[in-house]
Structure 1
Amino acid sequence: MKRHAVPAGAMLAFFLTLTGWPQCASAATPDGAALSALWGLPFAGVLLSIAVFPLIAPAFWHHHFGKVAAAWALAFLVPFAFFFGANVAFGTLVHALLEEYVPFIVLLTALYTVAGGICVRGNLQGTPRLNTGILALGTLIASIMGTTGAAMLLIRPLLRANGNRQHVVHVVVFFIFLVANAGGSLSPLGDPPLFLGFLQGVSFFWTTVHLALPMLFVCVVLLGGFYALDSYYFYRREEARSRFVESTPDSASFGIDGTVNFVLLAAVIALVLMSGLWKPGVEFDVFGTHVALQNVVRDVALIAVTLLSLVLTPRAARAGNDFNWAPIEEVAKLFAGIFVTIAPVIVILRAGEGGAFAGIVHLVNTPSGEPHDAMYFWATGLLSSFLDNAPTYLVFFNLAGGEAQKLMTTGATTLAAISAGAVFMGANSYIGNAPNFMVKAIAESRGVRMPSFFAYLGWSSAVLLPLFVVTGWLFF
């Protein structure tokens, strides 16, 4: 079917022409081979700020993290406009927002809101069997309702169930490993990097087929290790038989409030599937960024689902979850800065050996130019640990060629390595994946003394890195 381009930005472009922005409507992308690696400094600045400011200036960061992210975005856009023209800078901004950030944050907000309206109540006792069961359940549903949705649905009941236990930190840490990360390996709904891959053209069920075995291996090992560790704390360290009491003070029976959100969750899944299967061939040209009609319909409908959830969910359900907007607000502001500042990094990487990051190309490719799958797994994974896994996935997706159809076929093992590295190793640090932030914040609000940034790295280094060594050897 012939594709039609609708110049949605024509009137705005005319206005900008009159006001001194003469070339915005025909913004061009600079040659990645001509860009210096210095253009990646604002991107590095955003990520370093996320890692360092909460440690050295927590009060400042809590009140001004949005301003810090905006400052780094301007630190890229203003010099970029000076050297390449306002039209190019503006076109780059529009592309980063419309092509990647808006779909990403709209889906994340929908999942956060819908899952936050489902409240699980009742007397739950945090035994090793129950805790392992909750982690297994969250792992199973994470690919259906997203790591964000599954984490927001289950973290509060898990914390309530373990409210009277002395040792709870390991429960939350393994929850981050499994529910907030590895469990989301099997669909674009599961984890932000896979959704970005879906936006780039990767088929919806491609990861279901190609990551099933690595995901099963990682999750079974982690669940077994958690059960052994939790049993040690529960039976030997806490003398559970004599000291453990029901962690919920009332005698309410098990139940779920806000069940209407299950219907809305199904609507979210259907909308994402629709945008991947329905291809009307209509695009809107917004300052050089082509926005497909099916993506516009999906995002508008997801916003409607979010609003419906707010209207239809009983107040008691959100009150029972202590629902608030702080976690998603933090993610929205920080990721806006990340997606804007990563733009030149992606352009440089697309230049391959002709770009400033040729060293990375040589690291992940053999001398003959063929991809080295194990290196893609580790390079994507280790950078995902500290650079956030969603933009890191985009970086290596583009480094591997950026052509979804080719990567899904002849490059299938490479794309699987990139996908697994981004999803699995997003658990290596608090900044590796958006839900990690949220789970940590909710646990701390419930009185759990979560590990510091570097103490959490100690947990992941001891538990996850040896497991990933074996995973890379077995599958990549």
Structure 2
Amino acid sequence: MQTPGLAAEGHASLDGAALGPIWALPFVGILLSIALAPLLAAKFWHHHFGKVAAFWALTFIVPFAASHASGVVASEMTHAILLDYVPFVILLTALFTISGGILVTGNLHGSPRLNTTFLAIGTFLASVIGTTGASMVLIRPLLRANDGRRHNVHVVVFFIFLVSNIGGSLTPLGDPPLFLGYLRGVSFFWTASHMLAEMGFAVLILLALFWLVDSYLYKGDHDFRGVIDPTPDTIRIGITGKINFILLLVVVGAVLISGSWKPGISLPVFGLQLELQNIVRDLILIGAAIASLFLTPAGLREKNGFEWGPMLEVGKLFAAIFVTIIPVIAMLKAAENGAFAPLVALVTSPDGAPIDAMYFWMTGILSSFLDNAPTYLVFFNLAGGDPAELMGPLARTLVAISCGAVFMGANSYIGNAPNFMVKAIAENAGVKMPSFFGYMAWSIGILVPVFVLVTFVFFRA
């Protein structure tokens, strides 16, 4: 797959070595707003997050336009919006819309065997319909299965660990950072072939830990019986909106086609050459989302608690992110000649080779508190930004970046979008979820030791 940069005819490159660190402030500002505003000013953020995003975008655009040639400004903006942002939002919207039309009904008994099986299925499903899609489809039936238990918080916490985060490791459909890598030229099946071992290692440990914790707590729930369950156990699980599974296959096929079909045809749009296969992919994704809206049985989305708010928030916030990240990427590409030379030194050995363990942890730590998609882009470019080299000689570095972004989004509620969504749904169902720092106590006690083992086994020099 050709990279967006190569698809841009006459793309006026921004000299990152000539930029000072002050140009990174709007990017830092939008990320800190996303991380802290929902915690410190939830009501204000809920009503004005779009205005906050626009503020930070304009904080970059206005002085950038005033101090640089108009050709560079126009080129950078159109490149970021048309080749990165638009395909990114179209895919997320399609997966969000289609998965929202799948309703799982029924209520099974939340035994350790059932819960572990549910988590395993959800972990696999996350790489097929995305972490957001899998989380929204499965969290409600899992909550119903455990709604009579005295201890059920751990079920939701491990669900966030596995289904909302680590499970999305195997395809660009699974988690937004990997789709951004796909747009940058990383092949579709590269993640599955190179990240399977790391993902499998982490998942098996976490499923085993969950089984032990759940079995211990289950033994103490002597009153967990169907007769007192507020939503009594039923024998069968039903699935409504099955047409959406076919539409999900259409989405997978469209993304695959865009990476393998190369007709050599492109259309000029605002100085860029948009390749035909990518245009066709986006049109198919839009068509699949619209088809889901028309073909899903009436009333199903309401029963599923479906609403457009989360997608609208993602669309507005990421518009600002993709704009404000322009100078950051340029400075990272300048490597030791740019403003981020100290960061380059931190992840690079004296002989110039990348330190994979540092890439894993630096990407992961930032992904824990900032959005993992732009964090992935930052370190992708810090490692050179050349997909051919990153899939080849620097493959272990790209694996480290990818694992850090996807895995460690689970370290806090704000690390990945589905985390907060699952928390809100669980609380509405009566689960007393831990606070922000209470959840981090779980992640530090369980996930961090697992990630240390991942580092020792896979990223040790």
Instruction: Judge conservation of contact 1:327–1:437 (CA < 8 Å) in 2.
Output: no
2:60 aligns with one of 76, 82, 92? 76
Q: 1:405: how far off?
A: 1.2
1:130 aligns with one of 96, 106, 114? 114
Q: In structure 2, do the counterparts of structure 1 residues 447 and 292 end up closer, same or farther at CA, with 3 Å as the change threshold?
A: farther
| Aligned residue in 1 for 2:161 | 177
User: RMSD value over aligned CA atoms?
Assistant: 2.3
Normalising by structure 2, we get a TM-score of 0.93
Q: In structure 2, do the counterparts of structure 1 residues 367 and 344 end up closer, same or farther at CA, with 3 Å as the change threshold?
A: same
Matches within 5 A, 1:391-470: 391-470=374-453
Asked if 1:273 is matched to 2:259, the reply is: no
Instruction: Letter of the 1:271 partner, please give it.
Output: A
2:195 aligns with one of 189, 207, 211? 211
In structure 2, C-alpha distance between the alignment counterparts of 1:243 and 1:309, rounded to whole Å: 35
Instruction: Letter of the 2:92 partner, please give it.
Output: L
Instruction: Letter of the 1:231 partner, please give it.
Output: S
In structure 2, C-alpha distance between the alignment counterparts of 1:444 and 1:107, rounded to whole Å: 29
Q: In structure 2, do the counterparts of structure 1 residues 250 and 417 end up closer, same or farther at CA, with 3 Å as the change threshold?
A: closer
1:314 aligns with one of 279, 297, 301? 297
| Aligned residue in 1 for 2:3 | none
In structure 2, C-alpha distance between the alignment counterparts of 1:214 and 1:197, rounded to whole Å: 18
Deviations 1:105-138 (Å, cap 9, x if unpaired)? 1111111111111111112222222111111100
In structure 1, C-alpha distance between the alignment counterparts of 2:375 and 2:108, rounded to whole Å: 39
Instruction: Judge conservation of contact 1:123–1:246 (CA < 8 Å) in 2.
Output: no
| Aligned residue in 2 for 1:348 | 331
Asked if 1:222 is matched to 2:206, the reply is: yes
| Aligned residue in 1 for 2:368 | 385
2:43 aligns with one of 39, 42, 59? 59
In structure 2, C-alpha distance between the alignment counterparts of 1:48 and 1:98, rounded to whole Å: 25
2:33 aligns with one of 33, 49, 71? 49
Bigger Cα displacement from structure 2, 281-290 vs 101-110: 281-290
In structure 2, C-alpha distance between the alignment counterparts of 1:100 and 1:308, rounded to whole Å: 24
Q: 1:444: how far off?
A: 3.1
Instruction: Judge conservation of contact 2:11–2:272 (CA < 8 Å) in 1.
Output: no
| Aligned residue in 1 for 2:172 | 188
| Aligned residue in 2 for 1:255 | 238
Instruction: Judge conservation of contact 2:108–2:233 (CA < 8 Å) in 1.
Output: no
Partner of 1:239: helix, strand, or coil?
coil
| Aligned residue in 2 for 1:34 | 18
In structure 2, C-alpha distance between the alignment counterparts of 1:250 and 1:232, rounded to whole Å: 22
In structure 2, C-alpha distance between the alignment counterparts of 1:240 and 1:248, rounded to whole Å: 15
Structure 1: runs of 5+ lacking an equivalent? 1-6, 9-24
Q: In structure 2, do the counterparts of structure 1 residues 250 and 419 end up closer, same or farther at CA, with 3 Å as the change threshold?
A: closer
In structure 2, C-alpha distance between the alignment counterparts of 1:256 and 1:30, rounded to whole Å: 51
In structure 2, C-alpha distance between the alignment counterparts of 1:162 and 1:168, rounded to whole Å: 6
Matches within 5 A, 1:97-108: 97-108=81-92
User: May I ask how many residue pairs the two structures share in their alignment?
Assistant: 456
Q: 1:199: how far off?
A: 1.0
In structure 2, C-alpha distance between the alignment counterparts of 1:37 and 1:138, rounded to whole Å: 42
Partner of 2:217: helix, strand, or coil?
helix
Bigger Cα displacement from structure 2, 458-467 vs 300-309: 458-467
Instruction: Judge conservation of contact 1:120–1:256 (CA < 8 Å) in 2.
Output: yes
Instruction: Judge conservation of contact 1:124–1:160 (CA < 8 Å) in 2.
Output: yes
Partner of 2:26: helix, strand, or coil?
helix
Deviations 1:16-52 (Å, cap 9, x if unpaired)? xxxxxxxxx9773320001111111111111111222
Q: In structure 2, do the counterparts of structure 1 residues 200 and 366 end up closer, same or farther at CA, with 3 Å as the change threshold?
A: same
In structure 2, C-alpha distance between the alignment counterparts of 1:43 and 1:367, rounded to whole Å: 29
2:267 aligns with one of 268, 284, 290? 284
Normalising by structure 1, we get a TM-score of 0.90
What percentage of aligned pairs have identical amino acids?
Answer: 61
In structure 1, C-alpha distance between the alignment counterparts of 2:272 and 2:230, rounded to whole Å: 53
Partner of 1:323: helix, strand, or coil?
coil
Q: In structure 2, do the counterparts of structure 1 residues 96 and 162 end up closer, same or farther at CA, with 3 Å as the change threshold?
A: same
Bigger Cα displacement from structure 2, 264-273 vs 161-170: 161-170
| Aligned residue in 2 for 1:324 | 307
